[in-house]
Amino acid sequence: MMALLKSWLLSVYWHLRAWMAGIPTIAGGTDVVELNVTTVTELDNAIPELWTPRLRADAERMTFWGPNFEGQEGSGKPIIRRDDFTKSPGDTIHVQVFRPLARAGVTGNTTLAGTEETLALGQFDLTADWVRHAVAFNKRATRRAVFDAAKVSERALAKWMAKRIDDDMFNRLIITETTQTTLFAGNVASVASLGSANVFTPDEIDRCKLQLMSLGALPFDVAMDNGQERPMYGIVVSEVSEYQLKSNSTWNQAQRDAGIRGEKNKIFTGALGIYNGVIIYVLPTIQVSHYKWGSFLRPEARLNGSHTAAVTTITVGGSDTSVDYTEYFPQSGTNNVLIDDEVISFTGNTNSTLTGATRPAAGSGTTAATHADGAMVALASSSVERERAIAFGSEMAVRTWAVLPTNQNELQDYRFKFGIGIEAAYGQRAVVDARSNVPNYVLLNVAAPRP
């Protein structure tokens, strides 16, 4: 009997030892054990089970052009989404867009047969391509530390994927595609003519709406509390134009008069307000990482090191050469930036430089000067910071998925190194009409000086 009890106690002891070896901290204790083969295996099994649905949901939820703007073919939403998981990355996926019916129909006993209207379809072909990223850490860590790192990595990768999707869309709409009309605030003739008074105001909202209507852009329908649908257009601006708009008395009075709008449609989520049937949205200029700033709406950067008046290569960003710190700036032509009170023209760029600088830009009326490390570098006209806004209706763009965001794990060096990654395959493009024109959105250039 004593032998059996001794054997049982010994078994319990060794089981407790094994259990405690896997615990990162002990109540009242201060330290932990390093990962071993067993705990690495547990991580390898546990993380994929929890990650995939959460990564996908977080990545989609964090996008600006996400679920609020998406709809299936025929929905009339700003972005038409088509998932085709039978396709592989690199395959072509077909997306249909629909145009409204235009014929008068028949009345009374008039025969309808033979006068039916053909449903007008537009087909757009997209190629879904891989997008991937990952983070890595090694085995010299505690089990809790690795789980914590995994949780942080999960969110960081989801945010990276969301921003990558949005950047791809803004790049398509602003840089890649050719809009039929580009507007300039104050009805000036060009970017160079933009002055400090040509900021984003209710007048520009009206001009964008009229231009969209003249192009035949269809509004998207917003459901009201009473069940009716109200046609709306949208405009997306940066936080600087948001600031300028909030300083406008006409805008402020319109928002006060609107009172409680009562719309439940999710397309209002995150909207700044409504003016004359146009919903205003704000895309903040987010700092992605140290010294990486801006967006395709508002290109910005920070100086890397002080610059004297004689420097003709403007160095921006940080020390990581794999980061494209000038991604949002124009890649060709002669363009201006504003640093402090000096307007500088440049003709090219690399990941971390604006090259071919003229100090100061011709005709700017400014003076070449010394600028301190970390000074803001912003896209400019001949005298003031500027940015672009996008005014849009329904079926502005199409998006297709072949592989939704999912996780991938990597073990290397005899399970000493552990990596966590994210991958997806998608394609995006603007909708064009039969004449290869882009009818459902326009670009507006505005002056946008930071306060």
Domains identified in the chain and CATH numbers: 38-99+121-179+396-430 (3.30.2400), 191-285 (no CATH)
To the nearest 10°, report the CA torsion of 182, 184, 185, 188: -150
Q: At what angle do helices 202-215 and 249-258 cross, to 10 degrees?
A: 70
- The residues, any chain, with a CB within 8 Å of residue 207's CB and separated by 6 or more, are 183, 187, 444
User: What is the Rg, in whole angstroms, of the alpha carbon atoms belonging to the chain?
Assistant: 28
Contacts of 130 (CB under 8 A, 6+ apart): 89, 403, 423, 424, 425
**Which of 400, 402, 406, 423 minimizes the C-alpha distance to 53?**
406
Q: How far apart are CA 333 and CA 395, in angstroms?
A: 31
- Per-residue pLDDT of the chain in tens (451 residues, 90 and over written 9): 555 555 555 554 544 444 444 433 333 333 333 334 444 444 444 444 445 566 667 777 788 888 888 888 777 788 888 888 777 777 777 666 655 555 566 666 777 666 664 544 455 566 778 787 877 766 555 455 555 666 677 778 888 888 889 999 999 999 988 787 889 999 999 999 999 999 999 999 999 999 999 988 889 877 666 666 788 899 999 999 999 999 999 998 888 776 545 455 556 667 888 899 999 999 887 665 556 889 999 999 999 999 999 999 999 998 888 889 999 999 888 999 999 999 999 999 999 999 999 999 998 999 999 999 999 999 999 889 999 999 999 989 989 888 888 777 666 665 566 677 788 888 898 888 767 778 899 999 999 998 8
Question: Tokens at residue 414, please?
Answer: 């005899």
Q: What was the pLDDT predicted at 249? A: 93
Looking at residue 14, its pLDDT comes to 47
Beta bridge partners, 95, equal: 124
Q: Edge-to-edge strands of the sheet including 348-349?
A: 314-315, 353-355, 348-349
Give the pair of three-digit tokens for residue 287. Answer: 């700092």
Q: Is 73 exposed, middle or buried (0-12, 13-18, 19+ CB in 10 A)?
A: middle
Distance CA 383, CA 402 (A): 46
